Amino acid sequence: MISKTFNIKGMHCASCSSLIEMTLKKIEGVVLVEANYATETANISFDESKVTPEELSKKIEPLGYSIMMPMDHEMGMLAEHMGMPADEHMAHTGMGQSKKEKLKEIAEQKNLVISAIPLAAISIFIMGWDMLAQFKLIPTMNYTTSEFFHHLLPIMATYMLFVVGKPYLLGMYRFFRYGKANMDTLIGIGTSVAFLYSFIVMAFEEPLKQFINTSHTYYDVAIVVIAFITLGKYLESKSKLKTGDAIEKLLNLQAKNALVIRSGKEQEVPVSQVMHGDIIMVKPGTKIPVDGIITKGSSFIDEAMVTGEPMPVEKKMGDTVIAGTINTNSAFTFKATKVGSETLLAHIVKMVQEAQGSRAPIQGLADNISSVFVPIVLVISFVSLLAWLTVGAYYLGFSQALSFGLTSFVGVLVIACPCALGLATPTAIIVGVGKGAREGILIKDAATLEKLHKVTIVVMDKTGTITKGRPELASIKNFSKMDDKEVVSILGGLESKSEHPIARAIIEYARLKNIELKNSEDFEIIKGKGLKGTINNTEYFAGNAKLIADLKISFDAKSIEPETVQGKTPIILATKKEIIAVIMVTDIIKPESLEAVKNLHKLGIKTLMLTGDDKNTANAIAKEVGIDKLIAEVLPEDKLKKIKELQAGGVVVAMAGDGVNDAPALAQADVGIAMATGIDIAIETAGITLLHGDISKIVKAIKLSKITMRGIRQNLFWAFIYNLAGIPLAAGLLYPLFGWLLNPIFAGLAMAFSSVSVVANSLRIRNKRL
């Protein structure tokens, strides 16, 4: 059993999704089908031993759809560079087709619109003249002009129906041939009935005069409705193309070539040919082709487009670099560690694509309605026609009732729009997920994005989430005549031969302050107490209070108690005779932590720190940051129990952690948030991954969820209201009360722009500030 996402060609409306799902689900070997109109894709779980993708495609081809197998050369090359499956790249714009194919389709739609709009303008001109003449605002047309237009309209209507309206005729044909209806079916039946009625009236004008008003035809309806709907589809396609621009921008970050050093010579090769272990030269102003570790040199790297980090980040020997980021000022070489689909950029692209194609729970109602929408509308249209011909004829006479009946029949078919319902959720999800990626917020799926806006408490781990997760030098208490630089130089010289994390903190501090380390000899680790070494014929000791006690040097341990209570670790530097300095090392609180907690409180969200550290350390940090509640000295399994307890109390929990030690709690939380640093990101562990481990992005993620869900609700509200109000109005239910009957031309205009308005509202999410 495998699950694959296929690109579907021929999806024109929301009802297409349900039609494809219903057809494919009936095939033996198919377990699950999820079609997405906004991305024009279908996620299909099937048994390869029972059915192939080619066989699946053949089943839906008679209905006007096909599963796309090949892809264009340009996308093939990019897929090869990224080391990702071809079908993922074909959907890189959020569409089910490559951008090249989609642009070609939009160009064809544009040509049809260009030919249709002048004809629609002529029809509207004729209708407007007749309408104004009825109210005696202008004179009626003279006989010659009237006859000219009388014979011009059927010619224009024929072109509109059989050339511009060809997709709608095919939709009607498939309905009568296979019994499957979609949005095209409704338009096809509506405009064909208007055309056919008008043709019969013109062809048999004399015999029919005594029964009906033969001067009134519906050619103009067919012309204008098809023109408006074609225009709407064109605008919708252009708008949908914009919703997928986040992935396209990410893909464009990928470098095409790499400057690899082989056999001592620099040679430019396609990025697809870069292998693990290759040494790559990166010059200023160029993109980094793959992920790796700097082996020589240093520079500032602009990571804004990949991780959302606003300022260039300093990178030195031993630091990791990320594919797609830009080297700003100095040349350096690095060793390739992750290539192709292993790179962070490839992971981000894949994750965003999967999230954009996933379904949010809120979409369920719209999907259920869309699946039965078209058959119900067909029934309503025929019932309204029958009601006019029976009840209407009794009060208005057959001729008037037939005219109103046809108006209602066509109006109901044309105004009904499952497309607005179908686009309401996925377009907002696509834009929201894309915006998150640009901000360094990777969202795993639509359900996570939906749940996030309901969160009432954020549970945080301490180490790596609120704090930096690595020890740093916090303070120096100098008791000697040396200056602080000299103290650090001596201590760093001793610690340079140690692999302890605290040693790395001292050495890193010295590097940042440009302090040269003293050269030490006779280095020795004193187990459980510290270390010693000789510098310039003087023996130095560095360690804890036990080491100082062994040296029999007088030291008041209570003097450093206020800091040790806060979780700081003292390193006492001494000779055999005296204490030189006390250096405090601690896991520093991230600068953004205080602001993040404050902003969470502004959103009405409580905060809880859940940590395995001792109470004193955790309490000091919790107080400084402003955490509402603290639970310290807990094991990973205890964290899991606490999350369950909170959920049992009706609280919606988001858990932020490092994605490794906190894996059980992250998985249990309603929303798991992995604080990723460097390129080791816990994509699979959590629903949301925050690049650079920036806790302030939790607030941005929640705001993004709220903005996206607000957009979805607005879309669904207007889509429901539009259909609930439009269909009864078109059917003539309000005619007995107010004399209101909707002209099919206005129905076509409303239907065409309903989808466009939904997509446009979703696009507004891109411009919202987080």
As annotated, the active-site residues are 461
CB within 8 A of 288, min separation 6: which ones? 255, 282, 301, 321, 322, 323, 324, 325, 326, 327, 334
Question: For the purposes of burial, counting CB atoms within 10 Å of the CB of 66, is it exposed (0-12), middle (13-18) or buried (19 or more)?
Answer: middle
CA distance 543 to 533: 12
Asked if residue 586 lies in contact with residue 471, where contact means CB atoms within 8 angstroms, the answer is yes
> What is the DSSP code string of 99-156?
HHHHHHHHHHHHHHHHHHHHHHHHHHHHHHHHHHHHTTSSPPPPHHHHHHHHHHHHHH
CA distance 371 to 364: 11
CA 99 to chain centroid: 18
Q: What are the angstrom distances between the C-alpha of 744 and each of 152, 335, 360, 661?
A: 20, 66, 34, 63
Question: Residue 738 belongs to what H/E stretch?
Answer: helix 735-738
Walk across the sheet containing 530-535 and list its strands: 467-478, 579-589, 569-574, 538-543, 530-535, 521-526
Question: For the purposes of burial, counting CB atoms within 10 Å of the CB of 7, is it exposed (0-12), middle (13-18) or buried (19 or more)?
Answer: buried
Place of tokens 């990025």: 271
Q: What are the angstrom distances between the C-alpha of 614 and each of 73, 605, 634?
A: 59, 25, 9
CA distance 264 to 261: 6
Q: What is the biggest distance separating any 2 CA atoms in the chain, rounded to whole angstroms?
A: 126
Q: Minimal CA–CA distance to 14: which of 446, 412, 367, 364?
A: 367
Tell me the torsion sign for CA atoms 607, 612, 614, 617.
negative
Walk across the sheet containing 279-282 and list its strands: 265-270, 257-262, 279-282, 332-338, 291-296, 320-321
Going by the DSSP 8-state scheme, the letter that residue 556 receives in this structure is -
Question: For the purposes of burial, counting CB atoms within 10 Å of the CB of 552, is it exposed (0-12), middle (13-18) or buried (19 or more)?
Answer: exposed
CA distance 368 to 21: 12
CA distance 217 to 332: 76
Region label for 295, one of left (φ > 0), alpha (ψ between -120 and 50) or beta (otherwise): alpha
CB within 8 A of 121, min separation 6: which ones? none
* HSE-up of residue 118 (Cα within 13 Å, Cβ side): 6
CA distance 435 to 428: 10
Q: What are the angstrom distances between the C-alpha of 618 and each of 463, 609, 677?
A: 10, 8, 22
Q: Which two tokens stand for residue 335?
A: 């060793």
Q: Minimal CA–CA distance to 757: which of 725, 731, 721?
A: 721
| Residue 436: φ, ψ to 5° | -60, -45
Going by the DSSP 8-state scheme, the letter that residue 253 receives in this structure is T
Map residue 221 onto helix, strand or coil: helix
